[in-house]
Structure 1
């Protein structure tokens, strides 16, 4: 894809979303110019509803072209950006090796399907027993993820080695958003005592310029997320009821 096409990329998102952050980091790491369109999730735009009619959620990546394209879901967007903007010496986000690529996708799915669910119930569920059970599960899940950092050859700076890659982007919300959620819920789940390598990774991740440039102000983020606390509790209660 040409640089001219790259300049015509638009990202529909909201500053408070960790999933939108994934898409932004991918674009910034690949050096793709983009226009950011701030979405009001309480009054969703026709643009969002048109391009993500299934889930009606952010992020959505819009690419002008012939034909124009809309890409939904954060990790799908990360993969698209990695593949569509591969030329010009841009860094690869997914590993080149097929086995390593499959492993990164597996652990990214683990993050979204298991880690976040257990963390969410542990943080927000009204039932104390459900919170306690999920807290133990969440910490165990984080341990499993941490083991991917340690690996057989010893601790790495990032999941893929010396540079941020696909799995780092997938886990990125743990490096910033999780701490805000923990403060809101007065609960600590990711600690240096239990997960030292993961905490060290979080600091390294936040320090990278491409990441730092799209992290929202913490106080502003806390204020925005606090307004949605009731929704988070409702979602956690529904998750707990399914177990």
Structure 2
């Protein structure tokens, strides 16, 4: 039986390799303009993804451009819902104007990490996605509070693994503030991805702000092909 995995990249954040990465991934989590980028940058990424048959996802984050959305903050469920819903509505308008459909939602940075363990943050995020038309899948870590809240609300929860981030024994990600949180060696990243396949993740993330993302993407595509793993988006009808 042919095994499948989705490769997604976080794009539309103002870094130079978006177009090239879209030739190598099957899904794109595109910035909604709050933590980085802006309307023109996001529209270019959406347009390129549409042209290349890559699934388009919204990538909302805390509106913290100085900290690139990676600084944790305290926020009530209602505040999170408002922050995320505003970004989703705006991103949805950009996508619709280009003839694209928003096919999933993946939170960014601190919003992502806090939602995995903080039920208030997770519930606000889920409420925003539930109110977005049409309701879309949410990406997150296996065994997370976000997964529990998404499933409770009747949303599809897509388990995500990471190629370029190290894990703690409990399955959470090592915070970027700690040494060794990011995997710089492509061979180590490949070994991690191959070990993750078959253990739950439907999608594997690459970070578009990483200068080594293209090299890692190429190495991953080769390793997956050698292992008989097909790269295809978890959104049916799209793929690479």
TM-score by length of structure 2 reads 0.31
Larger Rg, first or second structure (1 or 2)? 1
Whichever structure has more strand as a proportion of its residues is: 2
Whichever structure has more helix as a proportion of its residues is: 1
TM-score by length of structure 1 reads 0.31
| Bigger relative CO (Cα 8 Å, ≥ 6 apart) | 2
